[in-house]
Amino acid sequence: MRISKLGIPSTLAAALFYFALSSAHADSVTTTTTTTTTDQPGTVVTSPGGTVYLRTASPTVLVKTIESRRANIAKQIDDACARGDITDKQAAGLQRELKRIAAENSSTEISYPAAVMLAQDLDLIGSQYGTVVTTAPAYVPIIEGSHFTVVDGQVLELDDLSVRRAGLETRITKDLLRGRLTDAQAADLRAKLAVIGAEAAAYQADGTPDFKESKHLYSDFDKVASQIDHMAGKENN
């Protein structure tokens, strides 16, 4: 059964202009050993062990992961600004974006799709910051491929639907930063992805989406992908 589509757009603010998320089955956490740095997961080495699915993880852990990383990046930016490694204007723009993420991450009832998108936003900010402050430690992303590393070092395996959505989010942001999309176009595309994400979450609430539901969701993702190509002018390349 189709359900009504509801969603909340997630945007990446203009601050980044200053700088050059199982299968259709489920998502999992794999037992790991880790080497960590302060507030940041380090290199993860997977070891044999039981599997725990993403949606059984406590939302509180996801909130803590995002907030710890946000605070870590904010401190790095403040320190770099004090050293003169970035301008006050650049630092202020990034800090405004980090404050937006803090506000959206303020609830212990955060949804899994929202946690993935906020983590991805932080990864974009962190990686872009590293291209400007070249002396900064190498940024260790929260999300790598289908892996989502939480603050205690566990690695969450994202389901295929989440990976598909995250991939499209990345395309939107990259085209926005390259000037191929306007702010309004990016916001519209992200709103459509949020609607699909909300529908996917509803399908997954009572189990794994069936074939018809999965096909419908992937079809909607493909439509957004085509819109990205059209708006970014790639169809003419």
Segment 16-40, tens digit of pLDDT? 444 433 333 334 333 333 333 333 3
Q: Do 206 and 132 share a domain, yes or no?
A: no
Q: Do 99 and 113 share a domain, yes or no?
A: yes
Provide φ and ψ at 172, rounded to 5°.
Answer: -60, -50
- Last residue in a domain, options 140, 158, 176: 158
112, 55 Cβ separation under 8 angstroms: yes
29, 156 Cβ separation under 8 angstroms: yes
Q: Do 138 and 182 share a domain, yes or no?
A: no
Domain that holds residue 194: 159-237
Query: What pLDDT score was predicted for residue 54?
Result: 67
With respect to residue 11, please indicate whether it lies within any of the assigned structural domains: no
Residue ranges of the chain with per-residue pLDDT less than 50: 1-49, 236
- Last residue in a domain, options 109, 140, 158: 158
With respect to residue 6, please indicate whether it lies within any of the assigned structural domains: no
Q: Do 192 and 128 share a domain, yes or no?
A: no
Q: Do 98 and 171 share a domain, yes or no?
A: no
Q: Do 199 and 109 share a domain, yes or no?
A: no
Residue 159: enclosing H or E segment and its boundaries?
A: none
Query: What pLDDT score was predicted for residue 53?
Result: 56
Q: Do 152 and 38 share a domain, yes or no?
A: yes
**Tally of domains within the chain:** 2
Query: What pLDDT score was predicted for residue 30?
Result: 37
